[in-house]
Amino acid sequence: MNRDRPTKEPFDQTLARGHFLPELFATIRAIAKWSALAVIALFIYLSINSLAGKSTEVTGIIGVIASLDRTAPWFVSVCALIWGYGEREVRKRTVESMSAQKKALEGRLDPGVTSSNLLSTGETNPEDERKEG
Q: Single out the residue of 109, 100, 111 nearest to residue 122, CA to CA.
A: 100
Confidence band, pLDDT 50/70/90 cuts, at residue 42: very high
Q: Are residues 77 and 107 in the same domain?
A: yes
Find out whether 106 and 113 touch, Cβ atoms under 8 Å. yes
pLDDT tens-digit map of 110-133: 877 777 777 777 777 777 777 665
pLDDT tens-digit map of 51-105: 777 666 666 666 766 676 667 678 888 999 999 999 989 988 888 888 878 878 8
Domain count, the chain: 2
Domain membership of residue 34 (yes or no) is yes
Domain membership of residue 26 (yes or no) is yes
**Which domain does 41 fall in, by range?**
19-49
* Predicted local distance difference test score (pLDDT) of residue 107: 79
Domain membership of residue 91 (yes or no) is yes
Domain membership of residue 43 (yes or no) is yes
* Predicted local distance difference test score (pLDDT) of residue 18: 63
pTM over cut 0.85:
no
Domain membership of residue 126 (yes or no) is no
